Structure 1
């Protein structure tokens, strides 16, 4: 049977990132909320494990039964979700997801780690994923404590391939929620590890609270994380019935996988590029400027809802809040119907005729003006689409990690729809220079131009394309 034309017109993904989740579910409602959302994006990932673990808030028990309960709400909607997905990227079955739910050790932190302590059920599954014959990174998303990861790293520490196994790890943890996270980073500073660093339990200082916390008041839109909005748009249908009411903030763990969402914005191997899951810079670099290991909070400068300028680590996430909340609301509508025409779907972005979601790279002479054309962009539902182009300044700052080193693009819309722009690259004295030394170089900092395309459907959906412009100094070629 031929696939409906509309489904084929939905953009496919380049790959499915391998994902392994550790969750202290039942410590408060937000883990259950995050798991509900994760399931609506699960066709984007190769989920290899979901392990119920402990944390400072859930020290002596684990609760996999809550994960199974949520899957009871997911099972009746899988077919509906698949009706809105690209046919090459179907959602996993509820039975598959049940098969990878395991228990971590029901003890706090480092009590689970030792040469004479056997691996937990969840630890064995993680070890299996880490040693699988795959060249793809394994993303360990930590919503609670990290002792499952710590016990596996301790288990393999004397293996001759231990360093190679660690090199495939990509960890994104929601702060430190037990005493094993700091131990991991101290023992193995080579591990790619995204984590906000602050005083113990001072979560208000972290980037991830930008998803829904009452931060930078006047900046983010609070309405789309309010209980009334969630009740109307998220707590609908069988899966929505599993989405619990708020207790503290909504979905504090969700930035771990928002970071990986394949929407044309995310570049997971480059935390400093920024995405729905926030933006992070290396805590340490080599003497040659090469990032090493741990990535921690940084700041974005963003115009808020009130028109004022905000500069904070939380802004690296809340700047995208309207888009990622509307996106979730649309997916919850997918769970309610198998009729493609009864729901909204994402615009498909084309830049200079190239359709896709990976960054679009181009060289440009310093001081020149180039034309970038997105007029072949389309919406699978036939909705009207709007175009917004802007320079994302902060990701370019890779010399001193401060925005003043970044030269500014001039962006001019040249057609009525806004799909085509002229972009002027600053001259070599600004765009191809070592900032501190004031020395011209042949190739300057990559300049990040973001194309944001939003449709007129309900709820409105946004897709992106990151255009990476490499300024070239012809005087030094």
Structure 2
């Protein structure tokens, strides 16, 4: 395995000067993933590989967090700055560090299914290319950002490159390696004539998608020193995809996260990559992680879980946000999409947040809740995951693929109160399956406070009338949802935004 991995890395480096030939890169969102190797990170990483054709992965970096750090090898004691882990673990010389080879091991397993995946969609990165992206960042302690590392230097180089396209920096663990990269840029340029241009360039390019704060480096360094960097901060919505999901996800959607579903669709008979996906009671244990007891069958009853139940993918919303399924959430995080919904902070125009002020109506509980902007997509997300799992082992003709959905008119419409809006969409299914249509109003995203009455909402052609009480400037978001009848059912979308002009 080590020799094969070395060959992948050497090939990746050999191709680095010919990326346009070896790795065709259409206009996709560039992204760097930083991760501390928590069990939920590892499951998120496995799923991410199945979607790695949907965005442009340009970096995979090991980083520490309040939950995982390797120590300096000298026995130096450390106590967390974060209240929870300070209480839980006290003084430590290292903490639950899973190593710096697990990403490469999963990439090796991805290599076994890469050819089959590539039958189903273009753009899957080669295993050699992915192995060439793996770097070790700041891992010695929680929040360590005092020294340059291979990972921080790599991020620094990408932030300073000549490409103007944004880079989404996915923070699955601590922010410290990204913070170190930014600090190195500041240290090099702060007292030069180039600083203003460099600061603007990096601020325009970097977008952080952070799942909680898992060290103090964002608050202590990034926010005060780089206030113009855009941040998407997920602190509430990810819980439905994290450890406490049984308390967050409505009972009606929980079958998509229970053992029978994962046994049938993911864990077994879908190739070596998915056989490594961690589940409750699967008999596995991550090395050196004494808190990863989920695989122990004796823990099932204690935690009210059953064999092969979902554990957690708390970081997956960070890359869900980058998958273009037609919801246009990359244009504006407040639109909502597979990665959740966030609104602009009242105190910081460059920060977009979820939380108790960002709620969607949960039709199962008949209440508004702060997790539902993410929860509402669980069935669709899991069906899509199951289809990708099939792609690992089935030929194209025996698997399902998402419909291609379009509007037969502009997606931005201006209209007056009382005006009828005619909506026309169409969908083409690559497998020849029938497609069901559903038009619905995303009321929580609208600035118009009321509801509209959609006519023929289950047809390709629908309509509604702008309510007479709509005010100039009000917006109404209508989603076209198209779902095929294949197995599993797959869904894609288009969004229409109507702006009222009285």
Q: Which residue of 2 aligns with 1:222?
A: 254
Matches within 5 A, 1:248-327: 249-284=311-346, 291-297=349-355, 298-304=357-363, 307-327=364-384
Q: Deviations over 1:31-90 (max 9, x none)?
A: 1111111111111111110001111111225633000110111002111111111xxx42
**1:260/1:219 Cα in 2 relative to 1: closer, same or farther (>3 Å)?**
farther
Contact 1:301 1:309 in 2 (8 A): no
Which whole-Å CA distance do the structure 2 matches of 1:422 and 1:408 have between them? 14
Matches within 5 A, 1:136-155: 136-155=165-184
What's the CA shift for 1:166? 1.7
Matched, 1:70 2:100: no
Q: Which residue of 2 aligns with 1:4?
A: none
Q: Deviations over 1:137-160 (max 9, x none)?
A: 100001100101111111122133
Q: Which residue of 1 aligns with 2:277?
A: 243
Which whole-Å CA distance do the structure 1 matches of 2:177 and 2:474 have between them? 39
Q: Deviations over 1:153-210 (max 9, x none)?
A: 111221331232122111111101111122222333322111245xxxxxxxx22112
- State the secondary structure of the residue aligned to 1:279: coil
Q: Give the TM-score of the pair, scaled to structure 2.
A: 0.77
Which whole-Å CA distance do the structure 2 matches of 1:303 and 1:111 have between them? 41
Contact 1:52 1:102 in 2 (8 A): yes
Among 453, 463, 480, which residue is 1:410 paired with?
453
Which whole-Å CA distance do the structure 1 matches of 2:108 and 2:263 have between them? 20
Matched, 1:396 2:446: yes
Which whole-Å CA distance do the structure 2 matches of 1:269 and 1:349 have between them? 18
Which whole-Å CA distance do the structure 2 matches of 1:420 and 1:138 have between them? 38
Which whole-Å CA distance do the structure 2 matches of 1:128 and 1:220 have between them? 47
Among 218, 221, 231, which residue is 2:263 paired with?
231
Q: Which residue of 1 aligns with 2:230?
A: 192
Which whole-Å CA distance do the structure 2 matches of 1:218 and 1:148 have between them? 37
Q: Deviations over 1:80-119 (max 9, x none)?
A: 111111xxx4200001000000101222244323xxx3x1
Which whole-Å CA distance do the structure 1 matches of 2:367 and 2:116 have between them? 40
Matched, 1:170 2:207: yes
Contact 2:66 2:143 in 1 (8 A): no
Q: Deviations over 1:401-455 (max 9, x none)?
A: xxxx5242221107xx61111111112xx322xxxxxxxx4xx122110111111
- State the secondary structure of the residue aligned to 1:380: coil
**1:220/1:187 Cα in 2 relative to 1: closer, same or farther (>3 Å)?**
farther
Matches within 5 A, 1:346-365: 346-352=402-408, 360-365=411-416
What's the CA shift for 1:296? 3.6
What's the CA shift for 1:285? 5.1
Contact 1:259 1:266 in 2 (8 A): no
- State the secondary structure of the residue aligned to 1:58: coil
Which 10-residue stretch deviates more, 363-372 or 131-140? 363-372
Which whole-Å CA distance do the structure 2 matches of 1:244 and 1:20 have between them? 23
What's the CA shift for 1:460? 0.5
Among 27, 52, 76, which residue is 1:42 paired with?
52
Q: Which residue of 2 aligns with 1:386?
A: 436
Contact 1:369 1:424 in 2 (8 A): yes
Contact 2:249 2:375 in 1 (8 A): no
Contact 1:260 1:266 in 2 (8 A): no
Contact 2:64 2:143 in 1 (8 A): no
Q: Deviations over 1:14-46 (max 9, x none)?
A: 831000000011x3x211111111111111111
Among 422, 427, 435, which residue is 1:377 paired with?
427
Q: Give the TM-score of the pair, scaled to structure 1.
A: 0.81
Which 10-residue stretch deviates more, 13-22 or 235-244? 13-22
Matched, 1:16 2:28: yes
Matched, 1:51 2:61: yes
What's the CA shift for 1:261? 1.1
Which whole-Å CA distance do the structure 2 matches of 1:50 and 1:310 have between them? 39
**1:56/1:319 Cα in 2 relative to 1: closer, same or farther (>3 Å)?**
same
What's the CA shift for 1:373? 1.3
Q: Which residue of 1 aligns with 2:466?
A: 425
- State the secondary structure of the residue aligned to 1:349: strand
Among 181, 204, 209, which residue is 2:239 paired with?
209
